[in-house]
Amino acid sequence: MVRNIAGLLPELETEDFYLLSGVEQGMRFSEWVQREKLTDFSGLTPEEVDYRLERCLKRGLVEKKTIQYEGYTLQFEGYDTLALRALVEGDTISEFGAPLGVGKESDVYEVKSYKPLALKYHREGYTNFREVHKERDYTSDNEHVSWMYTARKAAEREHDILESLYPDVSVPRPIEQNRHAIVMEKMDGVELSQTRLEDEQVRGVLDLLLRELTRAYELGYVHADMSEYNVFVSESGVKIFDWPQSVPTDHENATTFLRRDLKNLVGYFRRKYPSHISDDLESDRVADAIADGSFESIADIE
């Protein structure tokens, strides 16, 4: 888990951010930025660079490595700091709250502005860079990418997809995006995996989710990572989240991803509620009905 840096923000001075931005700029060309180049990238004097490096190293925002030269790179905490400051200065958020969820590919915190919101830091590529680079479309066309680039592209992609889907599909409303961070609506309810539905709710909730996936397909997207862990259930309905790996419906593997999504979702309901979801409900038939626009209810497919 990457450390929460919100408490550090008041300690940092403007010149510290110049230094962090300079390292960020240098990392476009190399994972480790030469100490001598930081004066140009940051606009600081050599003496000021030395002082700011010491402050940022002490706070775990950058890392130093001596190879053929003395090089510096951002830690994820340093990248978080740059994104958070930009969102605060842009008046997108005003307060930072408690963690809402921590995973291998993202950390989510409650934040506030005019109402409670959620701040999601993308972590793709930080601990499993090779796998993410190989599997994700948004990095596969680039031979030389860093964790920073991978996480930023994931955030940009998810934000764009949410903007395309909201409000026609029940997804979190996107508010703002900066670097690898997205601010979005805070979701009410409980994760589907942690929910025990009442008998009379089971089929209705599954139908509701399938209709949302149908609308997403009509708008040109397949989730491609659908599971009980990417759904919130509340009294007002459902919300489907985590869309950075989504693929367009004209993607060469869209049908495969759609069938996998439906296998995961229908399989989950069948395992947890076997008396309500029969073996006659074939996930591939549901996927075909979504793809051809004929899906209305699981009762029509069983």
Residues recognised as catalytic: 225
- Burial of 155 by CB count in 10 Å (0-12 exposed, 13-18 middle, 19+ buried)? buried
- Burial of 20 by CB count in 10 Å (0-12 exposed, 13-18 middle, 19+ buried)? buried
Q: How many CB atoms lie within 10 A of CB 284?
A: 13
Distances (CA, A) of 84 to 94, 220, 222: 10, 32, 30
Q: Which residues contact residue 152 at a Cβ distance below 8 angstroms, ignoring those fewer than 6 apart?
A: 122, 179, 180
Q: What element of type H or E holds 21?
A: helix 14-26
**Whose structure tokens read 């009762």?**
299
Among 141, 286, 109, which residue's Cα sits nearest to residue 214? 286
Cβ atoms of 62 and 20 within 8 Å: the answer is yes
Name the token pair of 297. 């209810």
